[in-house]
Amino acid sequence: MKTSNTMNRFIYSEWKQRCLEVIEENYNYYNDHDMDFNEDVINDMIYQEIDNAVIYYADAWAIAYELADNDWSDLYVDFGGIKNISQLAYAALFDKVTNDYQMNGENLIEYFKQQAV
């Protein structure tokens, strides 16, 4: 049996694009059904997409490799003791998203409202 030495790659811009597509689909659904689409809804969707991204061990390693610093002390403040690769990947991706202006819930609501006009 031949094994592969290649590691999964995580490309934030690709993940972000998929995440934004999910948010946009939900925005359209909420609009079509006169439901309240707010920052909490967006944040819940983003957190769910982060959860989905770190489910698999190889993907979690790829995310941690791309996004996690060697010094995790800044992540410790928000997440406490990081005990496994999935927690590290989640914390690193969460940190990246929260520092991404385009992924801010308020900005996304405004963006989708402008697109709807």
Residues 6+ apart with CB under 8 A from 62: 7, 8, 9, 10
- What Å distances lie between residue 17 and 13, 20, 33, CA to CA? 6, 5, 24
Q: Each residue of 57-87: pLDDT tens digit?
A: 999 999 999 998 766 666 666 667 788 889 9
Q: Which residue has the tokens 């909420």?
A: 30
Considering the entire predicted model, what is its pTM? 0.83
In this predicted structure, the answer to whether residue 3 has a pLDDT above a threshold of 50 is no
pLDDT at 1: 44
